[in-house]
Chains A and B, each alone.
Chain A
Amino acid sequence: MIFGLEFPPIQNLVEWPNWFGPEGSWYGFNKIAFINVIALVATTSLFFIAGRSKSLVPKGAKNLVESAVDFIRDGIVLETMGPEGIKYLPYLVSLFFFILITNIFEVIPFFHMPGNARMAGPAVLALLTWAYYIAVGIKHQGPKYFINAIAPAGVPKALLPLVIPIEFLSTFIVRPFSLAVRLFANMLAGHILLVTFSVLCITLFTASLLAIVLPLSFAMLVGLTGFEIMVAFLQAYIFTILAAVYIGSSMHAEH
C-alpha cells in the first residue's frame, strides 16, 4: 500500500483455479493448461491449412508457416548444426511454435497470462530438451558421450579434477536449469511489469490530482505491450536456438 497503490499478491497474478479436477490433483485443468491446448490447436490448424493447399505460390497462413519454418531451418538449424541437423527440425519447430504461442497470450485480451510464466511449461520443455540431447549424444557417440562431455579432449591431465566437475555441472545441471529459468523468469517479469503498469493506470484513473500523469502511464503500458510481444518472440527464438546448440554439441565430441 503505497500512495493508495494496492498491488495484488503474486499468487493472484500467476495461479489459477482448476476448471475441473480437484485442486492439487495431477490432472487438474486450469487456464495454463487451456493456453497450452490452444497452442496445440492453433499450431496444428495453421500447419494443416498451410499443408492443404498444393499451390507452389504461398499466401496467407501458408506464407506465415513457410517463412517460420524457413527461418528455423536457415537461421537456427543450419547456423548451429549444419545440414545434418535437418532431422531435428520437427522438434525445434514444435518448440518454437509452442513457446511462441503460449508466450503471446501475455498480451492477448481476456487471457493476459503467458503460459510460460508458470514454471511447469518451461520445466517440461527443458527436461525434454535435456533428455533429447543426451539421447542424441548416446546415439551418435555411444557411452563415450558422457566421457567426451565432461572431459573435453585436449585438456591437460592436471586440470581434469577441476574441469570434470565444472563440465558436469554446466552440461547436465546448469543447462536445463538455465533453459527453464530463462524462459520462465522472462515471461514472469514481463507479466509482472504489465500488471504493475495496469494497476498503476487503474489507481491513477480513480485518483483526483495524480490523474494528470495517467497518459504517461498508459503510454508506457502500450509501449511495454509492444516490447513484450518482442520478448515473447525473442524467448521462443532463444529457447529454440539453445536447444539446437545443445543437440548440435551432442552430435560430435567437443574439440
Chain B
Amino acid sequence: MLALVRVLAEAAATDVQQATETAAKNPILPTINEMFWAAVVFLLLWALMKFVLLPPITKLMAARADTVRGDLQAAEAAEAQRVSRLSDYEAGLAGARSEAIGIIEQARSEGDAERRVQITAADAEVATLRADAAAEIAAAKVRARAELTSSITDIAVGAAEAVVQKPIDRASQTALVEDYVSRSGSQN
C-alpha cells in the first residue's frame, strides 16, 4: 500500500515536472531574454533612425525634388520664352510680309495711275493730231472740190461757148457743175 502511494506520488511529481518543463519550453510564448534584446535593439534603431539616419536621406530627397521641380520650372520658362520668341518672330515676319505687299500694291497702283495718266495724255495727243489731220483733210477736200468745180465749170463753160458761139451765163452753169460734182463725189 505504501509502495503504491509512493509510486503514485512519484508519477504525479514526474507529470508535474514534465508539465512545467513543457510549459517552459512552449514554442509559442515569448522568452524574456529575446524580448529584452528585441526591445533594446529596436528602440536603438528607432532613435538612430529618428535623429541620425533618416534626416539626411529625407533632406537629400527633398533637395532632389526641389532641384527637379526647379529644373522643370526652368524648362517650362524656357519653353514659354521660346514660344513667345517664335510668336514675335512670326509677328515680325507677318508685318514684313504685309509691308512688302503694301509696297508692291502701292507701286502697282502708282504705276497704274501713271500709266493711265500717260495713256490719257497720249490719247488726247492722238485725238488732237487726228482732229488736225481730219481738219486738214477736210480743208484739202474742200479746196480740191472748189478747184475742181471751178476748173470743170471753166472747161464746161468754154466748151459750151465754143459750141454755142456766145458767152454763157457763168453763174447758172456753176450751179449745174456743182450739182454734178457733188453727185459724182457721192457716187464714188
Contact = CB atoms under 8 A, between A and B. Distances in A.
* Contact, chains A and B (beta carbon distance below 8 A): yes
Interface of A: 10-11, 14-15, 18, 21, 24-30, 32-33, 36-37, 39-40, 43-44, 47-48, 50-51, 54, 56, 65-66, 69-70, 89-91, 93-94, 97-98, 115, 118-121, 123-125, 128, 188
Nearest to B51: A90
B132 to A, nearest CB: 99
Contacts of B37: 27, 29, 32-33, 36-37, 120
Interface in B70-126: none
B25 interface: yes
Interface of B: 24-25, 27-39, 41-46, 48-50, 53-54, 56-58, 60-61, 63-64, 67
B54 A118 contact: no
Given A43-B45, A118-B31, A124-B38, 10 more contacts: A15-B25, A24-B24, A33-B33, A33-B38, A33-B41, A39-B45, A44-B53, A93-B54, A94-B45, A120-B38
A237 B57 CA distance: 20
Nearest to B32: A26
A9 B88 CA distance: 85
Main secondary structure, interface of A, reads: helix
Most chain A CB inside 10 Å of its own CB: which residue of B33, B56, B60: B33
Given A15-B27, A90-B54, A91-B46, A30 B34 contact: yes
Given A26-B33, A66-B61, A125 B41 contact: no
A26 B31 CA distance: 9
Given A47-B53, A69-B58, A90-B54, A36 B29 contact: no
B36 to A, nearest CB: 5
23 contacts: A21-B33, A26-B32, A29-B37, A30-B34, A33-B34, A33-B37, A33-B41, A39-B45, A43-B45, A43-B49, A44-B53, A48-B53, A51-B53, A51-B60, A56-B60, A69-B58, A90-B46, A94-B42, A120-B37, A121-B34, A123-B30, A124-B30, A188-B27
